[in-house]
Amino acid sequence: MKKSLLAALLLLLSFTTAPAVPSAPDSLSIKIGQMLMIGFRGLNAIDDPAFAEALQEGKIGGVVLFDYDVPSKSPIRNIESPEQVRQLTEKLQRLAPTPLFIAVDQEGGRVCRLKTARGFPPTVSAAHLGKLDNADSTRQASGATAKLLESLGINMNLAPVVDLNINPNNPVIGKLDRSFSSNPTVVTRQATIFVDTFHRNGIIAALKHFPGHGSSTTDTHKDFTDVTETWSETELEPYRTLIGNGYDDPVMTAHVFNAKLDSRYPATLSKASIDGLLRKQLGFRGVVISDDMQMKAIADRYGLAQAIRLAIDAGVDVLLFGNNAGIYDPEIAEKANAIIRRLVEKGDITPERIDASYRQIMTLKQRTITPAP
């Protein structure tokens, strides 16, 4: 049923060419909802009433799961056991009028939401696999992750990380063993195996963090992060090669500031970085997902409406609000939807820009998500 709805919505959009806001009363809200990926509290999809209501109303197009609630410092969030996660994802999909992206950060090693303490199998880090640089080892590790996610009803892994390990003391990449290597050829080779293995198991990949976070000395979760003096074009090589070879799953942006690319805005809010570099120069034609819009590198310097406007104008298709970067806002889906609607009504964002993101998102969902009957 949902697969038919997905196809019908995509077909309907293909006939929407007029520059005006679509005439159907809720068509704009449907499109905006698909642009929002939201984090929530609860082991059950209805534990957070505001989230559940927004989900049922089609104001959320994707969710992201966590195993720990940072704002409350609680180990209870969305993940308790394999069976509980299966039931959660099934309920989420049943509540949503359009099939959801259900995402998780299951990179392996230290960035691992599905932990052995909760009954999930062990994982290895990207750094470990990059050091081995053995295709069979990488296929085994990525295959185990993909099969696990598929069995749990999770259809998107916010991985692999293709940041180069330029600064081994980088607090958010190098020191956490999240990078395969400082060598772009090794990173590209490893990432290619991950992406191909994910695809064979029906899992959507997401390369991150564009245009490169590996040389940073600070953490965008916590503060403004300037890579102007440490970043080099070598950090684009994994993207250039993978995109050149046909990669069209999502790319996730970084909140890093890089004056070599944009003297005013960090990458997530930078039209020069996303529309100019990623899309026009590198030729990327897939979905662009922001890193968490509530991280301090963005939230401490831009108002919510300004950050949303800049990100969409820059070329971001899916705005991620993890609700787990120090604050929890149960109304974030409703707020973001209302802000984007006002921006369209005021003419700050055009209906065509919303349509472009909606088309990208729905095409990816139609290609990759097979809903339960």
Does residue 23 lie in a domain region? no
pLDDT of residue 6: 56
What's the whole-number mean pLDDT along residues 86-114?
97
Specify whether 221 is catalytic.
Answer: yes
Does residue 25 lie in a domain region? no
Q: How many CA atoms lie within 13 A of 124 on its CB side?
A: 16
Does residue 21 lie in a domain region? no
Nearest to 297, CA basis, from 305, 309, 307: 307
Does residue 24 lie in a domain region? no
pLDDT of residue 368: 83
Binned at pLDDT 50, 70 and 90, residue 300 comes out as: confident
Binned at pLDDT 50, 70 and 90, residue 218 comes out as: confident
Single out the catalytic residue among 105, 177, 209, 221: 221
Question: What gap in Å lies between CA 240 and CA 179, rounded to an integer?
Answer: 17
Q: How many CA atoms lie within 13 A of 201 on its CB side?
A: 25
What residues have CB less than 8 Å from 254, skipping those under 6 apart?
A: 208, 209, 210, 211, 212, 213, 220, 266, 267, 268, 291
85: helix, strand or coil? helix
Does residue 243 lie in a domain region? yes
Q: DSSP assignment of 261-305, as one string?
A: T-SSS-GGG-HIIIIIIIIIIT---S-EEPSPTTSHHHHTTS-HH
Q: Which residue has the higher pLDDT, 369 or 157?
A: 157
| Cβ(330)–Cβ(370) below 8 Å | no
pLDDT of residue 18: 32
Binned at pLDDT 50, 70 and 90, residue 372 comes out as: very low
pLDDT of residue 22: 35
pLDDT of residue 326: 84
Single out the catalytic residue among 291, 292, 313, 355: 291
Residue the block writes with tokens 């995109």: 243
CB atoms closer than 10 angstroms to residue 259? 12
pLDDT, mean over the chain: 91
Residue the block writes with tokens 């994982």: 123
319 forms beta bridges with 36
Does residue 163 lie in a domain region? yes
Segments forming the whole domain that contains residue 107: 2-14+30-368
Q: Which of 16-30, 147-161, 320-334 has the lowest mean pLDDT?
A: 16-30
Domain count for the chain: 1
What's the whole-number mean pLDDT along residues 74-103?
97
pTM of the full structure? 0.92
Residue the block writes with tokens 């997905």: 6
What residues have CB less than 8 Å from 258, skipping those under 6 apart?
A: 211, 226, 227, 228, 231, 266, 267, 273
Report which secondary-structure segment, H or E, holds 362: helix 351-368
Q: Look up the CATH number of the domain holding residue 56.
A: 3.20.20.300
Given a cut of 90, is residue 21 above it in pLDDT?
A: no
Nearest to 210, CA basis, from 267, 248, 283, 279: 267
What's the whole-number mean pLDDT along residues 120-130?
98
What's the whole-number mean pLDDT along residues 201-223?
88
Question: What gap in Å lies between CA 239 and CA 282, rounded to an integer?
Answer: 8
H helices then E strands: how many in the chain? 13, 10
What is residue 252's DSSP assignment?
A: E
| Cβ(289)–Cβ(252) below 8 Å | yes
Amino acid residing at 346: K
What's the whole-number mean pLDDT along residues 94-120?
97
Given a cut of 90, is residue 20 above it in pLDDT?
A: no
pLDDT of residue 5: 52
Measured at the alpha carbon of residue 77, what is the angle toward residues 71 and 82, in degrees to the nearest 5?
A: 155
What's the whole-number mean pLDDT along residues 2-24?
44
Does residue 22 lie in a domain region? no
Given a cut of 90, is residue 304 above it in pLDDT?
A: yes
Specify whether 291 is catalytic.
Answer: yes
What's the whole-number mean pLDDT along residues 5-19?
45
Does residue 132 lie in a domain region? yes
In percent, the amount of the chain with pLDDT more than 70 equals: 91
What's the whole-number mean pLDDT along residues 231-242?
97
